[in-house]
Amino acid sequence: MKLKWEDDGTFKSPLARARGLGAAHMGVTHWWHQRLTAVANIPLMLWLVWSVLQMQGWSYEIFTAWLAQPVNAILMILSLLSVFYHAALGSQVIAEDYIHHEGLKIFKLIGMRLFFIGAAVASIFSVLKIAFAG
């Protein structure tokens, strides 16, 4: 059975059909990366929640010594990468769905992407500084 949105091959070149990247030239990249980070987030967030449970009232010395341990530093950086990427992708979809003014939408999409990159760099740099320089 042919679905109505499936192209019949008349207007698309065979190469374009084989690439399957669609009008935005991205194909399923956004969708797939959101699922990839979603799966990664399951163990990483359970670890983060578990860690937050221990953190209550930790002093500066205890916290930095904990974060300087390789296992914790690595898991924290992985969490930050996966979570911020997942958040950037998700927020992008929300903006695309609910903001109907084209200029405002582009403005928000750029702003959010840069914001998440900034937040990720700031937090990952902090982890590295604590791990390497104390």
Partner 1 sequence: MSDAKKINPRPLSPHLQVYRPQLTSVMSILHRATGFSMAVGTMMIVWMLVAAASGVEAYDTFQWFVGTVIGKLMIFGWSAAAFYHLCNGVRHLFWDMGYLFKIENAYKAGYLVLAAAALLLALFWWLLCGGAA
Chain centroid to CA 96: how far?
Answer: 16
Between 26 and 128, CB nearer to partner 1: 128
Rounded CA separation 17/12 (Å) = 6
Least distance CB 59 / partner 1 (angstroms)? 8
The C-alpha atoms of residue 130 and residue 134 are separated, in whole angstroms, by: 4
Coil/strand/helix, residue 99: coil
Q: How far is the CB of 102 from partner 1 (least distance, A)?
A: 21
Residues of span 6-35 touching partner 1 by CB under 8 A: 35
Which value, in Å, is the radius of gyration of the alpha carbons in the chain?
A: 21
Residues that bind partner 1 (CB under 8 A): 35, 38-39, 41-42, 45-46, 49, 52-53, 56-58, 60, 63-64, 67, 76, 80, 83-84, 87, 90-91, 94, 116, 119, 122-123, 125-127, 129-130
